[in-house]
Amino acid sequence: MSKLKFAVLQFPGSNCDRDCEYTISSVMGHEAKLVWHEEHSLAGFDAVIVPGGFSYGDYLRSGAMAKLSPIVQELVRFTQDPKKLTIGICNGFQILTEAGLLPGVLLRNTNLNFVCDTQYIMDVSSSETPFNSKVNGVINAPIAHFDGSYYIDEAGLEELKKNGQIAFRYCDSSGDVNNGANPNGSVYNIAGVYNKQKNVLGMMPHPERNSEKVFGDATGKMIFDSIINFYS
C-alpha cells in the first residue's frame, strides 16, 4: 500500500506532537506532518492525530480554547467523512469532547493530583472498529494527566453501551476491570470512547509512548497498526 498521510495538530502548549510525528513516520513508516492550529485546511490527509499537552496552557478549561482554533473547525468537517480517522490522545481527547466530536467531559482527577504512571487498559468494543482490529490483549500505556476523569451521566452511559461507543476501560494486568485499576475516577473505568460512526477515538492513555520495545513495552503500537490496517 502507498504511504498514508497523517496530520498531527499543533496548538500553543502541545508537547506530545513530536512523539506522535515520530511514531507515525519512524515506527509505522508513513508520512506525518505537523499542522499549526491557525491553518484552515486538512485537504490531502488520510487521518488526524490531536496530540497531548496543555493547549493554550489549559488556562480556561482543558481543550476549551483549542476548540475555537480554525483547524478544529476544519476537523469537524473532516470527521464527517467515515473513511477519515481521527484519534485524540490525552489533551487531544479533551479537545474532541469540547468540540462536540465525542460525548462526555473530562474532569479533574478525583484524587486532585497529577497522575504520571503506566496503566493497563483493555479493548471492550462489541465489534471490530478501525482502531481495534489489531489489538490483542491488554495495553500497558503511559498516562500523564490532571484532568482525566471521564464523566457522562447515567443516560449518556447507557447510550454509549447501547451504541458500542466505549473503546477502552482501565483494568489490571489480567484484564480485570476494577476500582483499584481506575487511576482518575473515570465513570465505568472508561479510558477511551468513540463517536457513533466509530471514525473518531478519544483516549487518555498515550499509545505513542509505548509503540517501541526499546521502551520496555510496545503494546500501544497495536492501535496504530489497527489504523493502518483500516486503510489497507
Point out the residues that are catalytic.
90, 206, 208
Report the greatest alpha carbon distance in the chain.
46
Grid cell locating 25: 513516520
- The kind and range of the H/E element at 31 are strand 31-36
Please state, in angstroms and rounded to a whole number, the distance separating the CA atoms of residues 194 and 123: 12
DSSP result, 117-184: EEEEEEE--SS--TTTTT--S-EEEEEEESS-EEE--HHHHHHHHHHT-EEEEE--TTS---GGG-SS
Please state, in angstroms and rounded to a whole number, the distance separating the CA atoms of residues 16 and 112: 23
Distance of CA 134 to the CA centre of its chain: 16
- On the CB side of 181, CA atoms within 13 Å amount to 22
Looking at residue 66, the DSSP 8-state letter turns out to be G
